[in-house]
Amino acid sequence: MSGWVLLRGIPLLFLISVLTLAAGCAGKGSPDSIMEDKQIQARLDLAERHLIQGENRQAMQQLMRVQGQDPDIPRLNFDLGLAYTALGDMPKATAAYKRAVKVRPDYAEAWNNLGQIYLSQGNLKQAEKALHKALDVVTYMTPEKAAYNLARLWRKRNNPDKALEFARKSIQENWRFSPGYILAADLLQNRGKDKEALSLLRQGAEADPNNMELLLKLAENLVRSGKDQKAKKWFRRIDQERPKSPQAEVARDYLEFLQ
């Protein structure tokens, strides 16, 4: 899902800037405790590298060792949430994210991931609360993700106006956020605003010209608008630049159909 950062299929939100260790670690200040903190951070770094590589159980081994030393570190619990999500254990992932935001209430990335879990479970009330908690954090580095998830939430509630509002907000927060363009265009198209949807997809293609899903969506909308020749250019580009991608396979089908 686009509300997560996906690396090799593993949900991974902004690991390179995860929050530092909780201020309440025992014994801070002494040489021994400083070394202990460095060892904890090293294990968390290693766990995160395992997660990036899709080595989820190896990541969990490192995280369990840190948990035995200090179970209340926000970064630890965030990483545990990622690992449990990757392993498909949503109850434990939920509990981990809850521990992270309990210790660090401004942990926006954890609030967003918690909201996304609730959203996937159909718990829309709790999802909305968590996602707004994320957006309320002024230091949140990727607010477009929470805004996008709120757009998805309002779409599930059959409120296309609110869904479009938050889809547009995700683009305002990050003008290169392709999922926001795609969702907003879908919402506009469903309301019969094809020209506006096409214009938005063109903006998205300019903002993120390497996103094949976005380019495919643009080309498909050009076909629906009767602009086959312009669509062919995009289909060919997708096929040439990413010939092994799923989008290229669809593009080739369109090119064959449009001959």
User: In sequence order, which residues have a C-beta less than 8 Å from that of residue 62 and are 6 or more positions away?
Assistant: 43, 44, 46, 47, 50
Q: Is the separation of the CB atoms in 228 and 205 below 8 Å?
A: no
pLDDT-derived band at 68 (thresholds 50, 70, 90) equals confident
Q: Could you give the CA distance from residue 18 to residue 40 in angstroms, rounded to a whole number?
A: 14
How wide is the angle at C-alpha 233 spanned by C-alphas 167 and 223, nearest 5°? Answer: 60
Question: Which tens digit of pLDDT belongs to each residue from 144-176?
Answer: 999 999 999 999 999 999 999 999 999 999 999
Supply the CATH classification number for the domain 1-141.
Answer: 1.25.40.10
Phi and psi at residue 6, to the nearest 5°: -105, 120
What ranges make up the beta strands (E) of the chain? 6-7, 10-11
Q: Is the separation of the CB atoms in 247 and 238 below 8 Å?
A: yes
Per-domain boundaries in the chain: 1-141, 159-208, 213-259
Question: Which tens digit of pLDDT belongs to each residue from 6-48?
Answer: 333 334 443 333 333 233 333 344 444 444 688 899 999 999 9
Task: Select from 122, 121, 182, 118 the least CA-distant residue to 146.
Answer: 118
